[in-house]
Each structure stands twice: as C-alpha cells, then as structure tokens.
Amino acid sequence: MRLTLDCTAEQIDAVEAILAAAKARGEVNFGLHRQSHALMTCLVPSGRPEAHLHFLDGMGGGYAKAAEMMEAGELAAVSSR
C-alpha cells in the first residue's frame, strides 16, 4: 500500500508507533517520509476531460524517500519538515 496522509505531527507519531510495533513483531515492513508540503499533478487526456487522473506525492521526495528508508531497514522516519 502506498499513500500520502495529511495529519498532525501527533497523529503521524501515533501511526509510526503502530507500524514500528508491527514491524518488531515481524508483521510488516514499511517506509515513512515526513514532509511539510505535497505536490499534486493532474493528467487530462486529450478529448476526455471526465477521465482525468490526480497523482499526489510529497514535495520532498515522498514515496521514493520512504522506499529508500524501507530498503535500508531504518526504523526512524526521514524528516524534511
């Protein structure tokens, strides 16, 4: 699962604690990258404006940074706040 969340620092701390505990039990592997801004790209295929797509990711690296963290096996989140 890949997702971008808009939440408070306290909320993401709670999410990270839940994920870290699940990782310690061997249930999940995860990557997490905190940042202050997101970037949305809208793709509108020519002639089909009703079929447009939105791509949302973190402005500071987003999914790529989280994947790097996961591959490195790091538990601490990378932050670019």
Q: Kindly list the domain boundaries of the chain, sorted by start residue.
A: 9-80
CA pair distance 38, 20, nearest whole angstrom: 24
Q: What is the mean pLDDT of residues 8-35?
A: 90
Q: What is the pLDDT of residues 34-77, one digit of tens each?
A: 887 777 777 777 777 677 777 767 676 666 776 777 677 765 44
Residue 5 has pLDDT above 50, yes or no: yes
pTM: 0.56
Identify which of 71, 54, 72, 45 has the alpha carbon closest to the alpha carbon of residue 4: 54
